[in-house]
Amino acid sequence: MLSTLATVLLLAPAVLSHGIIMNPPSRATGPGQTTACGQAIVSAIKSDNTSYVEQLTKLASTDSKFSAAACNLYLCKGLQYADNSANVQTWKAGDVVPVKIWLRIPHEGIANVSIVSTKQNKVVGDFLKVWTKGYAPGKSEADVPIEQREFSVTVPSGLETTCAMAGDCVLQWWWLGTAAKQTYESCVDFKIAASGASQGLEFKA
């Protein structure tokens, strides 16, 4: 009994995890990630695509197939554009994009949404959403305020060149459970069409 309890407690941090963008379609794993990150990370993501980065860095340290140059776990959890080229969204400046997060297990902390240039590995433009405290409180998804799980972001202007090509930019949701010290990232591939070129999503959420 005691040892069973101990096992459950030991396993809990790896098993209870935690969040991903459900909509628009977010980056998933695939053979490109196996090449870049190794099989251990891909298997972990396959068994739980809401898992946290610190679990994956631990796996990386024991997998000789892990390539730090090709697999940046702090950018989209090392998920690769090559596995997701069929899921590229086309937006234009001013489009209002509804985002839906699955917060499988909450951990109170901070979060934000931004556009990241994958080549430069840095945020470009202003943060689109920032929660400096109180993000994802409670014990189950129902405890988390709906506006933290379902919100919309407006595609900024000024990134038409930086984000013209699929794969060059992602919309990244980033959440840190401050007490749990667990980081979550989920990314949407998109490109920005020159103004007037697409019929964007014009409704307000």
Closest-by-Cβ residue to ligand NAG is 176
- Distance linking the first and last C-alpha atoms of the chain: 50
60 vs 191: CA distance, rounded Å = 30
Rounded to the nearest whole angstrom, what is the least distance from the CB of residue 103 to ligand NAG in the complex?
A: 13
Burial class (CB within 10 angstroms; exposed 0-12, middle 13-18, buried 19+) of 125: middle
The interface with ligand NAG within residues 26-55 (CB under 6 A) comprises: 26, 28, 49
88 binds ligand NAG (CB under 6 A): no
Work out whether 116 is an interface residue with ligand NAG (CB under 6 A): no
Nearest to 157, CA basis, from 201, 193, 120, 121:
193
Query: 23-34 in b/e burial notation, b at 16+ Cβ within 10 A?
Result: ebebbebbebbb
Per CB under 6 A, 74 contacts ligand NAG: no
Question: Does 130 help bind ligand NAG (rule: CB under 6 A)?
Answer: yes
Closest approach of ligand NAG to the CB of residue 26, in Å? 5
Stretch that binds ligand NAG, among 68-76, 91-99, 170-178, 188-196 (CB under 6 A): 170-178
Among 175, 180, 189, 192, binds ligand NAG (CB under 6 A): 175
> How many CA atoms, within 13 angstroms, populate the side-chain half-sphere of residue 168?
12
Token code pair at residue 204: 């307000």
Single-letter code of the amino acid located at 167: G
Question: For ligand NAG, which residue of 52, 66, 174, 190 counts as binding (CB under 6 A)?
Answer: 174
Shortest Cβ distance from residue 6 to ligand NAG (Å)? Answer: 29
Residue bearing tokens 């980056």: 27
| Least Å from the CB of residue 114 to ligand NAG | 7
Interaction between residue 112 and ligand NAG (CB under 6 A) = yes
One residue of 20, 60, 97, 193 binding ligand NAG per CB under 6 A = 20
In contact, 80 and 36? CB cutoff 8 Å: yes
| 190 in contact with ligand NAG (CB under 6 A) | no
The CA-atom distances, in angstroms, between 141 and each of 22, 105, 127 are: 14, 6, 24
Binding site for ligand NAG (CB under 6 A): 20, 26, 28, 49, 110-112, 127, 130, 174-176
